[in-house]
Structure 1
Amino acid sequence: MPPEDSFEAARKVKEMYCYTCSDIVKEFNKHDKEPAKFIKQWRGIRLKTGAPYACDIGYERFLGPEVLFSPEIYTSDYITPLPALIDKCIQSAPIDTRRALYKNIVLSGGSTMFKDFHRRLQRDLKKIVDARVQAATAHHGGDIKAKPVEVHVVSHPIQRFAVWFGGSVLASTPEFFESPQLLCVKACHTKAEYEEHGASICRVNPVFKGMY
């Protein structure tokens, strides 16, 4: 594959051929037993010369998405899988909101569009939550049984552009430019204001009431 085309080719391969597997070992075995069934071929045209080229896509189809669930197979610097991160985030929320958060996990972004991504995420997160519930029950000797926690990952039609969609909704409101609720403090700044005050004007966000 031409180096200058690698990024664009990788993006298209990711969108067209990659998927989330339920068990990486079983997936390797499936590919090894019937390689012709699972291997796909990407064909492209070199941007500089117009010459055609081709490359086979095998294990990469499921190994790419697997980095989100088993990062340790790629690096030892970062080994926390996505389900554990989500669980940690919800556990840091107020205790009376956690059940609602677990059953309303909404996907957003292009890398959540892999086939069966939401099923894998829901399954792995459910395992973490169920293990905690069982540990709590065992801690009390089985006399007090913890109520099961519902885990639901929401996959929806606009999840690929959900972040942009949310930002566009905010920007379309009058409050984005001038908000009475925020004592007439704007949630955005004009180019002229930025040029006058510099980068420091972006360090205070009236929407999130924080300083960065």
Structure 2
Amino acid sequence: MNGTAAEESNVLKDWDPKVLLKSLYEISYEPRVETKRNRFIPMEGHIEVPADEVTKADGLDNEGWMKQYIRNKEGRLQIFATHYAGEAPAQELILSGADVDANKDERTLTIHGGREHVKYYCRVPSALFDKWRQSFLSHCASSQIDAYVKPIPRAFQHLTERVLILELGSSSIRAGVLTTEPSLPQSFFPSIAVRTDDGKIIVGEDAYKPEIRHNGHFVRPIQAIDPSVERYSIDKEVLEAVILKVIKDLRIEPFKYKVLLSIPQNIPSVLIGELLSICLNDIKFQGAAITRQPSLILYAYDVTTGVVVDIGERLNIVPVIDGYVVESAIASIPYGSQQMGDSLRNSLSASNKGLYSFQSPIPEDYQKEEKGENRETRISLDSFDTTPGMTTRFDIDNSRFLCTEGLFKPKKWGLDTKGLHQLIHEAILQSPIDSRRVLYRNIYLAGGASLMPGLAEKLEQELSTVVPNTIHTQVNISPWRYNAAYLGAQIVASASTFEDSCISADKLPKFIAQLQASSF
């Protein structure tokens, strides 16, 4: 539904998708169940450690090693006095947050650091080296499993600060007032409007009503004129209508509130002055601040260093070190969810299975899934108030795997560019050399397309094909990553420094002049 009424099929002409949209834009405080979380790799057996607790620096020969029986279990290294896993370990080390240095030629592994400053040095059988390494890595990563901001339902409005958080996404608008504890958006709707033939602007879900969409054309508040070269334009009337809808939804008076605008990474600085002018001069907010979403996403993960991989209508890969974006290493590519939908739609049309697109899982073993016996899944649209003549039940075959594979093999989408894993690898290589190891193990997913089951596992698997095996790569996923930038914006808005980052209408001209001379 991104065209005019003339482009609509007769079957869909009278369909009102309000029930479907309500489902898609539901605010739920139920955390997503993730397959990757708590995914420890258990391992136990005999290894060798330096005799008499001497260190690697002492240059031991083969006679300087002694056998030890160990077990990795739930983020801990258990050491047994016997040659098997007895009832209780003689020693137990907490692995959470530790680093693993691997030397495959010498078959040695050094585990050091972490919450308890652990130091453990061992030598493992050559045939089991990779298995032991992966096991240690999985348990050392356990400290980050719960490192993210958790939203609290029924949070109260902030006691002293009145701040509106407004996220302008390419597909969705999220908004809410600052609360005492982090919370999810209170207003959430499609970033779309219809400009009717008589000049009215209808925003959000209402734009999709048959009587509205048949009598006008769809427009966006921020439109990509040519995404491939980062050209954008603001439709001032539509953006004002979006903000007024938010104000109505939240029942607030703009002049009593400051606003924090959260914008995508790829919106050029030249448009920021226009955005602020609309908020301060036209809507009359008390003050305004503006920030880009990648840094906010890291705040939602409760970290300040990492690689943000934001997958929505566009793919943005943004390395951030100690809160500062590595501008020269950013990769922003004009493909993502739209290509997945198009690929699935074309594939289903070719096999006469329908014209709809659905959330698609990412298979860890693509070839295995593609050849698997159970390649079809049944889809039902009966609960979405369909009209007579609409296909409501049909099977989707292995197209659901094929349509996502373009993320890693863009040629499957007809694109001449590099895969997601290669782009991340290159972005890190363009970052400062002393931060690269940290960035490899701090990759954070966000965006609607990042919700696909198995994406984190698949990405780690593909990264292992381009990253040296001495470097640990880890993809982190929060159950709340769909709203990560919004959660991060609340952290920023509640900080004591937020007041200083706001500007008022009278200071806007000076700010715009400074903006034009900077690289915000």
User: Shift of the alpha carbon at 1:94?
Assistant: 0.9
For the residues of structure 2 that align with 1:89 and 1:66, how far apart are their CA atoms? Answer: 21
Match of 1:27 among 336, 347, 369: 369
1:164–1:64 distance in 2 versus 1, CA, 3 Å:
farther
For the residues of structure 2 that align with 1:203 and 1:64, how far apart are their CA atoms? Answer: 44
User: Shift of the alpha carbon at 1:97?
Assistant: 0.7
2:391 counterpart of 1:53:
yes
1:42–1:197 distance in 2 versus 1, CA, 3 Å:
farther
User: Shift of the alpha carbon at 1:120?
Assistant: 0.7
CA RMSD of aligned residues (A): 3.6
* Paired-residue identity, %: 24
**Alignment partner, residue 299 of structure 2:** none
Cα deviations by residue, 1:89-118 (Å, 9 ceiling, x for unpaired)? 110111111111111112222211211111
Tell whether the 8 Å contact from 1:46 to 1:53 is kept in structure 2 after alignment: no
**Alignment partner, residue 414 of structure 2:** 75
Give the number of the structure whose residues are more often helix, by fraction.
Answer: 1
Cα deviations by residue, 1:12-51 (Å, 9 ceiling, x for unpaired)? 821xxx2111343332221xx444xx32223146768476
For the residues of structure 2 that align with 1:172 and 1:51, how far apart are their CA atoms? Answer: 51
Letter in 1 for 2:489: G
2:103 counterpart of 1:103:
no
For the residues of structure 1 that align with 2:476 and 2:446, how far apart are their CA atoms? Answer: 10
Letter in 1 for 2:473: V
Match of 2:489 among 167, 170, 186: 167
Cα deviations by residue, 1:135-179 (Å, 9 ceiling, x for unpaired)? xxxxxxxxxxxxx1111111222222212211221122242231x
**Alignment partner, residue 86 of structure 1:** 424
For the residues of structure 1 that align with 2:385 and 2:432, how far apart are their CA atoms? Answer: 53
User: Shift of the alpha carbon at 1:202?
Assistant: 8.8
Q: What runs of 5+ residues in structure 2 fail to find an aligned partner?
A: 1-10, 25-340, 342-355
For the residues of structure 2 that align with 1:42 and 1:62, how far apart are their CA atoms? Answer: 19
1:99–1:20 distance in 2 versus 1, CA, 3 Å:
same
Work out the number of aligned pairs and report it. 173
User: Shift of the alpha carbon at 1:52?
Assistant: 5.5
**Alignment partner, residue 143 of structure 1:** none
Letter in 2 for 1:62: F
**Alignment partner, residue 144 of structure 1:** none
2:405 counterpart of 1:66:
yes
1:46–1:161 distance in 2 versus 1, CA, 3 Å:
closer
Tell whether the 8 Å contact from 2:370 to 2:401 is kept in structure 1 after alignment: no
Task: Classify the secondary structure of the residue corresponding to 1:53.
Answer: coil
Letter in 2 for 1:13: F
Task: Classify the secondary structure of the residue corresponding to 2:464.
Answer: helix
For the residues of structure 1 that align with 2:400 and 2:445, how far apart are their CA atoms? Answer: 21
Letter in 2 for 1:25: Q
2:358 counterpart of 1:13:
yes
Tell whether the 8 Å contact from 2:362 to 2:401 is kept in structure 1 after alignment: yes
**Alignment partner, residue 211 of structure 1:** 519
Task: Classify the secondary structure of the residue corresponding to 1:86.
Answer: helix
For the residues of structure 1 that align with 2:443 and 2:421, how far apart are their CA atoms? Answer: 11
For the residues of structure 2 that align with 1:202 and 1:117, how far apart are their CA atoms? Answer: 42
Tell whether the 8 Å contact from 1:2 to 1:46 is kept in structure 2 after alignment: no
**Alignment partner, residue 2 of structure 1:** 12
For the residues of structure 2 that align with 1:169 and 1:98, how far apart are their CA atoms? Answer: 26
Tell whether the 8 Å contact from 1:83 to 1:121 is kept in structure 2 after alignment: yes
Letter in 2 for 1:89: A
Task: Classify the secondary structure of the residue corresponding to 2:484.
Answer: helix
Q: What runs of 5+ residues in structure 1 fail to find an aligned partner?
A: 134-147, 179-185
**Alignment partner, residue 477 of structure 2:** 155
For the residues of structure 1 that align with 2:377 and 2:428, how far apart are their CA atoms? Answer: 38
Give the number of the structure whose residues are more often strand, by fraction.
Answer: 2
